[in-house]
Amino acid sequence: MQDFVQAIADEHVYLFDGAMGTMLYSKGVFINKCYDELNLRNPEIVLEVHKHYVRSGAEIVETNTYGANRVKLRGFGIEDELRDINLRAVELARKAAGDSVYVAGAIGPLGIRLEPYGPTAIEEAREFFREQANALREGGVDLFVLETFSNISEIEQAIAAIREISNIPVIAQMTVGTDARTIYGDTPSLIAQRLDAAGADVIGLNCSVGPDVMLDAVEEMTSVSAKKISAQPNAGLPRDVAGRQMYMASPDYMAKYAKRLIHKGVKFLGGCCGTTPEHIKVMADAVRPLSPRRSFVIVDRDPASEKPRGQEPVAFASRSNWGRKIAAGEFVTTIEITPPKGPNADAMIKSVHSIKEAGVDAVNVPDGPRAQNRMGAIAVSVLLQQKVGIEPVLHYCCRDRNLLGMHSDLLGCAALGIRNLLLITGDPPKMGPYPDATAVFDIDSIGLTNMVNLMNHGLDLGGNPFGEPTSFTIGVGVNPGHLDLDLELRRLDWKVKAGAEYAITQPVFDVRQLEHFLDRIEPMKLPVVAGIWPLLSYRNAQFMNNEVPGVSVPDDVMERMRIASEKSKEHGLREGVAIARDTLAQVRARVAGVQVSAPLGRVDLALQVFEGLVEKRVSA
């Protein structure tokens, strides 16, 4: 596992665990008990909670030491056991975490007022924090988490105390009320500036409020600090139910806001009061498609090591005709076909024969688009390669397979001669006819790109050699019309760093939008194949504009389709093809090629878009 300093620097979004106190209370531990003392008196119950969170997808677990400082332990008469309580807490967390989850030493406020609001001197407070931090450091934590502080001066002393004894990374989190201010009236922007200046490695908020208030506060913090952000909201605000304070926010609600927090710049995400392993599990499922997984890095190994370094990959131009043409700067053409719904592929094979005869370079085979039930993309690709003799570009998504399954699939593809891949995360099952189907998403398209790049070096998921390397061309999807284009560009940059060699866009109807996108990515030097979709009718244009994620049809194109479709169905079809041909003509000089979709299986319409562009092949 990489050092936590590297975790702060990478682009992966890390998930904390949820509430410890909530879980201990649910197991019958009364709130008047010292929860930190359980590390010594009932360690099994603490270990069980940690394990639940790790199984739910937490990548960082916090030690059960929120109140394990001398001041709070003194209230229970056990202050002399401070070191043992903290050491045992780290041991329990590490036992649950294993080698793949980080252990964070949790430190909370002292529970007393510091000068000038109370009698405790600043220096005395710092010594209290230093004592607890020393014990946690001795136990071997990967990082410190300072949480639920309302007094900036107090958390500054905690940071200073840690810095005096260690260079271990510090995540510093304050807590605010529903007005997004601390009880002392400090704003999120002031919190961010002070924590940044105090030397925290990561700054953020936790507790007291639910994700909605925290979302706005985080946005304010990111506007004044370049530090990475942490957010651990409560499961909403508690309500009094039959005399008990209950947190009502559901796991799905927390997952929805997890996505929003990530889009606002949060890198470390978790839950506080009221959150449970179920909340963390659903949040983990929501986070995966939005976050590059931990990088699979090709490491130059020591020559004396038993394991050799990865092999040099086959040259891009030598992997396939598709790769050769892109490498040479030749304009590539492809048509995206629709796999059949049943086991009979005759009609599809016949239509692809016409694609080959028309001189088109390849066929794109989608992998369960919009979570629909269709023949598998790998089987379709093999059929077309064997029965038609045309190169497929296999779309391969992360939705349906775990890491082991994907690795096995791709080795099989290599053995079957499939060379061209378009790696995508995949549409969620809720878009299809079986919305309750399980989505796997062990990794997203960024992690998958990393994995295929490793395989092209002859290495498996663990960086271990498996023999002859694969020879895949590595393509990725990209959306020039993404509502958050900066996020899309960051993800594309991650894909390029992971090994992407070309990209294919979502259907483009707005040429200016595509040109703006191409201007932005010019430094990446990445060949881009533009997606083009011949519209069938005005209704089809409305559907594409309103119901296909990431697709935008400009007003002038909508108007052209409306006028044509009002005349007749045939006029609408001709106008859709004409718009696609106009788009192709406008973008051709700036892209590496085009992928034209065959809407509703209408390969004839896709071929009309290419008329005059490709030379027909002569049948043998």
Does some domain include residue 337?
yes
Q: Provide the mean pLDDT of the chain.
A: 89
Does some domain include residue 303?
no
pLDDT tens by residue, 349-399: 999 999 999 999 999 999 977 667 889 999 999 999 999 999 999 999 988
If you write DSSP's letter for every residue of 128-182 in order, what string do you get? HHHHHHHHHHHHT-SEEEEEEE--HHHHHHHHHHHHHH----EEEEE---TTSS-
Does some domain include residue 301?
no
Q: Are residues 471 and 576 in the same domain?
A: yes
Domain that holds residue 461: 316-610
Amino acid at 465: P
The alpha-helical segments, DSSP class H, found in 522-568 are: 538-547, 555-567
* pLDDT for res 263: 87
* pLDDT for res 446: 85
Ranges of the chain whose pLDDT falls below 70? 237-248, 289-309, 370-371, 429-436, 549-550, 614-620
Q: Which of 290, 325, 356 is the last residue before a domain boundary?
A: 290
Q: Are residues 11 and 125 in the same domain?
A: yes
Q: Are residues 285 and 346 in the same domain?
A: no
CATH code of the domain covering residue 36:
3.20.20.330
Please say whether the beta carbons of 80 and 102 come within 8 A.
no
Amino acid at 112: I
Does some domain include residue 300?
no
Residue from 294, 266, 291 nearest 100 by CA: 294
Q: Are residues 246 and 322 in the same domain?
A: no
Q: How many domains does the chain have?
A: 2
Q: Are residues 271 and 326 in the same domain?
A: no
* pLDDT for res 119: 79
Q: Are residues 489 and 582 in the same domain?
A: yes
Does some domain include residue 619?
no
Look at the block and give the residue holding tokens 């978790």.
270
pTM: 0.59
Q: Are residues 215 and 132 in the same domain?
A: yes
Q: Are residues 88 and 36 in the same domain?
A: yes
pLDDT tens by residue, 467-506: 999 999 999 999 998 877 888 898 899 899 989 999 999 9
Look at the block and give the residue holding tokens 């400009």.
554
Type and span of the H or E element at 587: helix 569-587
Q: Are residues 330 and 236 in the same domain?
A: no
Q: Are residues 321 and 175 in the same domain?
A: no
Does some domain include residue 326?
yes
Q: Are residues 341 and 285 in the same domain?
A: no
Does some domain include residue 482?
yes
CATH code of the domain covering residue 499:
3.20.20.220
Does some domain include residue 307?
no
Q: Are residues 387 and 345 in the same domain?
A: yes
Give the angle subtended at the CA of 221 by the CAs of 216 and 224, to the nearest 5°.
135
* pLDDT for res 225: 94
Q: What is the b/e burial string over 70-96, where b = at least 16 CB atoms within 10 angstroms of the residue's CB?
A: ebbbeeeebbebbbebbbbbbbbbbeb
